[in-house]
Amino acid sequence: MKHVALYPGSFDPITFGHLDILERATNLFDKVIVTVAVNKEKSAVFTGEERLALIHECLEGKSWAKNITVNKFTGLLVNHAQKLKADTLIRGVRQISDFEYEFRMALTNKRLAPDVDTVFLMPDEEFTFISASLVKEIAYWGGDLTSFVPDNVAEALKSKYGNK
């Protein structure tokens, strides 16, 4: 049986941490679909389309990314998963503090769709503290983004925030 995994998130914006989880997922599943949640579009810095474009750019030329597709969704994640015939949801867990929220979300999704399982993956140690919200704060104050996000994302953040 072919296993299709959905990797959902806000990806506002995608970071090196997300890319690390994504690469790991490609080693475990036949097909991985990155899906950008656009439910709270108004509170995001990047539009859904911008987030998709940044992800596409980050994956360009990566040998491990050939079985990855990218899309976006609104509404309930499990409905999107079932529509795409994905049997697994991937979530990255960086530290214990992530786990309570992730555990609640996984159990909720399991109750809504018992046929869809959540798999938690750990990123490499060097990415355990990176989050999109920290990255946005660094960008806001004009800090160095080199070790947090790929160059295209850093450029996009710079043009969003300008030079503070």
- Is 21 a binder of ligand PNS (CB under 6 A)? no
* Cβ count near 45 (within 10 Å): 19
**Which CB sits closer to ligand PNS, 37 or 145?**
37
Q: Verify binding: residue 119, ligand PNS, rule CB under 6 A.
A: no
CB 3 within 8 A of CB 30: yes
Total chain residues near ligand PNS (CB under 6 A): 10
Q: Are 86 and 12 in contact (CB under 8 A)?
A: no
The verdict on 109 binding ligand PNS (CB under 6 A) reads yes
92 sits in which H/E element: strand 88-92
- Residues 6 or more apart in contact with residue 36 via CB below 8 angstroms: 8, 9, 10, 11, 48, 51, 52, 55, 70, 71, 72, 73
| Residue that has been written with the tokens 């806001």 in this structure | 140
Of 92 and 150, CB closest to ligand PNS = 92
- By CB under 6 A, tell whether 105 contacts ligand PNS: yes
Asked if 10 interacts with ligand PNS (CB under 6 A), we say yes
In the complex, least distance from residue 21 CB atom to ligand PNS, rounded to whole angstroms: 11
**Residue numbers 70-99 binding ligand PNS by CB under 6 A:** 76-77
Interface contacts to ligand PNS, rule CB under 6 A: 8-10, 37, 39, 76-77, 105, 108-109
